[in-house]
Amino acid sequence: MKSDHRMTGHLSLITGASSGIGEQFAKQLAELGSDLILAARRVDRLETLAADLRKNHGVSVTCIPIDLSTPQAAKDLFAKATTGGKKITCLINNAGLGKYGSFIDFPFEDHYSTLQVNVVAPTELTYLLINHMLAHGQKSYVVQVASISAFQPVGFFSIYSATKGYLRYFSETLAFELRKTPIHMMCLCPGGTYTEFFEHSGQKITQTGKATMMTAKDVVQSSLIALFNGKTVFVPGWLNKLACFLPRLLPRNLGLYLAFKTMNRAVERVNLPSSAASPLNANSHTPSK
């Protein structure tokens, strides 16, 4: 089911719009009439998408190439996105990545980039955009794209799970702070979604994974309905809702073990980091007593 809430007159800034969930947000917000600013590193992809959306929906689309892993990125993106007095009324903080494997097997620079893209950039963009939205005073929306790992962290996805947990707490508390303003904030917590994410994180989707994952299109369709209905935290899909609820009933260690086992049924680990024989190797994991 699609949202019929019109977004004509709105201007939406979407990070990570070059593929997957971000690309779907761009398509579906354009369909609802919103003008767009698309940001990511792969600007060729953004330009192809932008041409398609201008042609099919008559909306204005600006593409901004940006690497959100660099410290100045959020400020640069905000400055470029608001040039000429543009008023942004919707921010989709979607860009994100994760490295699957033992914490100590990756160079720390990889973790630093993940923290920068998944935590620092969305936090700074939120700060800048909320000030901007309060100043123009129009009805506005902010979506933080977290994950179901914000409810149940997954072993060998330590930094990723922690960043998504951060986003959920940040988003929930800020939604509360902003409740009497024209800004509505929602934290979107998807489960496994069929996108390029796994390729980039060093995983390959198994047949079980393919059968249970949602499409980015379905995730975004249900998210937009939830957003316009005023939800502050939204988990798309009943299987994902169950995966968020069940751990509340379990001891923490058992939750971690089951999350790890479930993940291993849905994806296989590829391009193992150099120290595959590490004592923390994912393949030799058993739950602690």
What is d(CA 156, CA 39) in angstroms, rounded to the nearest whole number? 29
Identified binder of ligand NAP from the candidate list 106, 151, 170, 197, rule CB under 6 A: 197
Q: Decide if residue 200 touches ligand NAP (CB under 6 A).
A: yes
Using CB under 6 A, which residues numbered 23 to 52 contact ligand NAP? 40-42
Alpha carbon of residue 130 to chain centroid: 18
**CB of residue 288 vs ligand NAP: minimum separation in angstroms?**
26
Pick from 13, 63, 77, 95 the residue near ligand NAP by CB under 6 A. Answer: 95
Contact window for ligand NAP (CB under 6 A) among 67-75, 82-90, 245-253, 272-280? 67-75
Specify whether 160 is catalytic: yes
Q: Is 176 exposed, middle or buried (0-12, 13-18, 19+ CB in 10 A)?
A: exposed
Query: Which residue, 67 or 76, is less far from ligand NAP as judged by CB?
Result: 67
Q: Number of residues interacting with ligand NAP: please give it, by CB under 6 A.
A: 28
Nearest to 141 by CA among 174, 182, 170, 171: 182
Nearest Cα residue to 266 out of 213, 189, 200, 218? 213
Paired residues of 12 in beta bridges? 36, 90
Give the CB-side neighbour count of residue 260, counting CA atoms within 13 A. 21
User: By C-beta, is 138 or 169 nearer to ligand NAP?
Assistant: 169
∠ CA 173-134-120 to the nearest 5 degrees? 50
Pick between residue 28 and residue 147 the one whose CB is nearest to ligand NAP. Answer: 147
68 binds ligand NAP (CB under 6 A): yes
**Residues in contact with ligand NAP, shown as a per-residue x/- string from 106 to 125 under the rule CB under 6 A:** -----------x--------
Query: Is residue 22 within the footprint of ligand NAP (CB under 6 A)?
Result: yes
Residue number with CB closer to ligand NAP (75 or 179)? 75
Catalytic residue among 160, 166, 194, 257: 160
Q: Does 145 bind ligand NAP (CB under 6 A)?
A: yes
* Cα torsion 204, 210, 212, 218: sign: positive
Stretch of 6-14, 17-25, 132-140, 223-231 lying at the interface with ligand NAP (CB under 6 A): 17-25
Helix (H) or strand (E) holding 90: strand 90-93
Q: Where are the alpha helices (DSSP H) in 5-154?
A: 20-31, 43-57, 73-81, 108-115, 121-136
Q: Report which residue type is found at 38.
A: L
Output the six-digit token pair for 164.
Answer: 């998504």
Which residues sit at the interface with ligand NAP, rule CB under 6 A? 16, 18-22, 40-42, 66-69, 94-97, 117, 145, 147, 190, 192-193, 195-197, 200, 216
Which sequence positions are flagged as catalytic? 160
